[in-house]
Structure 1
Amino acid sequence: MILGPLYRDETEAETAEQPAVPAPPRIRGAEDGTRDRSGDRAERRTLPPVLDRELTERPARACSGWWALLVVALAGAVAARLVLRYGVPRPALTADAWPTAGLAGCLTAALLALAGLRRVRAGQAAALTRFGRYRGTVRRTGLVWTFPFRRLTRIDVRLRHWRSEPLPVVDAEGTALRAVVLVVWRVRDTSRALLAVDDHVRYLREQVESVAARVLSRLPADSFGPDGPDAPEGPATLRDTDALGDELTRLLAAECRAVGVEVFSARPVRVEYAPEVAGAMQRRRVAAIDARNRDAVLTSVIDAVDDTVRRMSARGLVSLDDYERKALVKDLTVAFYTARGPAADTP
């Protein structure tokens, strides 16, 4: 059996400071300077100085649990040899009472070795406290031995994801919405996740609701204005999921950094209208699409009529005065629009 070193710090790679991730661009349309300043304040949010010094993850002294089993085996072997050679000890303070003391020492060593024996599963970390004070974190897995009389709390440090329930929010126009957010996160600092907040999972979920309400209230859900190729660029909407997800991730990571939670991404899975306004907004969207379609068809018909009249006049096919020209334009417009309009698609 190959045993590892007595003490080994396996948290160096885990606790090493990672390079800072560049802040994603903010959502378009948030021209208000107070919003940017509030976002900067959120990025600098941290614990009070006293708690910040005390609640910082540090490695706890721990060794392989196989060493503890080896100590138990050696103590048992020595105790058995003493019993076989000197018999069952008697509680008597005499000159030859050293076998009794040796047997008591073996029993004490075995009890201490077993009292400090712990099991830590892969994907978990063990935070140690004594009398309510943080004493360190064990990130090595398997059988480990730590100093006895310390309370061990296991914390899941794996990459986790959480899909929220439909969150009630409003957009910039006050329209009621329902948003579903998918968050990918993990516990980075076990001491803060355990002691800085009562329940770090509940804290994360409440912050998701708060950040979603702040971000989604900055922009309208949809833009019903003209969006053709020659139309001016309209305002950003909540349909821009990439920018919306970047903003949610930035603000949520800043809010959760103080409690030791690292947020990798927060993406909107679905943003839809609330049931009480969904029917009205759907009719409004259909009307906007129909108006844009009719405008495009009318523009195409007018261009076709103009081209037809110019070519007929240029080739001398017709000689028209103003009255006849107006009548011809009217007839051609009605004919082309009837052929290209919505009525042509109706059986």
Structure 2
Amino acid sequence: MKYENKMKPNNGYIVLGVLVLVIISMLLGIIFTENPLILALLVVIVFIIKGFFIVNPNSSKVMVLFGAYKGTVKDNGFFWTNPFYSRQRISLRARNFYSERVKVNDKIGNPILINVILVWKVEDTYKAAFDVDQYEEFVRVQTDAAVRKLAGSYPYDNFADGQHEVTLLSGMDEVNEALENEITERLAIAGIHVMEARIGYLAYAPEIASSMLKRQQAVAIVAARKKIVEGAVGMVEDALSKLSNDNIIDFDEDKKASMVSNLMVVLCGDKEATPVINTGTLHS
């Protein structure tokens, strides 16, 4: 037996009715016959009582008879089975697992802190009960292992322009899908169905967080400056072209260079420009 076998137990209410009749018969026998052998029915009563059990909604009972798996009861209600069955309760409810933050190295060796949010439930009770020892602990350990493997497969972020590599920070959809597939594969041996898996926390480790923040700020500043310069060059080109085409002013090379320099300083400066009124020529 390698897979779950759904079991249909006896209706507990019917057997309960039989038990009531046995008890009444025993009492009447004691009263009217006073035969002590009737007390032997107590053994039958105890035997019957031991077979009763209840299965709550989204729960199950795994039945084992002297070491042999006989089936799993997933229907909820009041039932009766062979009293010699040992019964192991396994919940079928969806569960949340919020893993601890672990420090791992990403693909390029940067230490990062990461954890995962996992939603799972037991799908195959046979595998959960017999193929692994303590399936809840199995879920925890294998999830941590999957997170460590995932973190080593992607860089936290990339800083080089023109690179479109998937990263932990920017490629959440793809990364979460890869994480879910990895965890699903690992937990299949325990009969666990992974409903959702996603990264819950992601950050650089404290020892490099400040350095990486400065690096990110520097990259952002360079990118912003590049955009500013590109825009300023276009604006200067349009201004010179407009002035020349409308015959507002004729530029020689020196005038053009001076105009370009002044405009670039104004457009690219961090502070507001302070105008200086020139009452002479551009050369004065």
How far, CA to CA, are the matches of 2:67 and 2:26 in structure 1? 37
How far, CA to CA, are the matches of 2:97 and 2:122 in structure 1? 13
Q: Which residue matches 1:89?
A: 35
Deviation of 1:198 after TM superposition, in Å, equals 0.9
Deviation of 1:315 after TM superposition, in Å, equals 1.8
Q: Deviations over 1:191-224 (max 9, x none)?
A: 1111111111111111111111222222211122
CA contact (8 A) 1:59 1:136 kept: yes
Change (3 A) 1:85 1:222: same
Deviation of 1:233 after TM superposition, in Å, equals 5.8
CA contact (8 A) 1:159 1:184 kept: yes
Q: Which residue matches 2:279?
A: none
Deviation of 1:160 after TM superposition, in Å, equals 0.9
Normalising by structure 1, we get a TM-score of 0.74
CA contact (8 A) 2:106 2:151 kept: yes
How far, CA to CA, are the matches of 1:145 and 1:55 in structure 2? 25
Correspondence 1:165 to 2:112: no
Q: Which residue matches 1:300?
A: 231
CA contact (8 A) 1:64 1:145 kept: yes
Q: Which residue matches 1:67?
A: 14
Give the secondary-structure state (helix, strand or coil) at the position aligned to 1:312. helix
Task: Among all aligned residue pairs of Structure 1 and Structure 2, give the percentage whose two residues are the same amino acid.
Answer: 24
Deviation of 1:278 after TM superposition, in Å, equals 0.8
Correspondence 1:336 to 2:282: no
Q: Which residue matches 1:20?
A: none
Deviation of 1:247 after TM superposition, in Å, equals 0.8
Q: Which residue matches 2:129?
A: 194
Q: Deviations over 1:62-105 (max 9, x none)?
A: 1122123212110012222223332x115xxxxxxxxx4xx356
Q: Would you say how many aligned residue pairs link Structure 1 and Structure 2?
A: 272
Q: Which residue matches 1:276?
A: 207
Q: Which residue matches 1:235?
A: 165
How far, CA to CA, are the matches of 1:145 and 1:105 in structure 2? 22
Give the secondary-structure state (helix, strand or coil) at the position aligned to 1:343. coil
Deviation of 1:110 after TM superposition, in Å, equals 1.9
Q: Which residue matches 1:8?
A: none
After superposition, the CA RMSD in angstroms is: 1.9
CA contact (8 A) 1:128 1:150 kept: yes
How far, CA to CA, are the matches of 1:253 and 1:200 in structure 2? 14
CA contact (8 A) 2:52 2:81 kept: yes
How far, CA to CA, are the matches of 2:271 and 2:202 in structure 1? 34
Q: How does 1:92-241 map to 2 (within 5 A)?
A: 100=37, 103=38, 106-226=41-161, 232=162, 234-239=164-169, 240-241=171-172
Any gaps of 5 or more consecutive residues in structure 2? 274-284
How far, CA to CA, are the matches of 1:307 and 1:144 in structure 2? 87
Q: Deviations over 1:167-194 (max 9, x none)?
A: 2222111111111211010001111111
How far, CA to CA, are the matches of 1:61 and 1:108 in structure 2? 26
- Greater alpha carbon shift after TM alignment, 241-250 vs 216-225: 216-225
Any gaps of 5 or more consecutive residues in structure 1? 1-53, 91-99, 227-231
Give the secondary-structure state (helix, strand or coil) at the position aligned to 2:271. helix
Q: With CA pairs under 8 Å and 6+ residues apart, which has the higher RCO, 1 or 2?
A: 1
Letter matched to residue 72 of structure 1: L
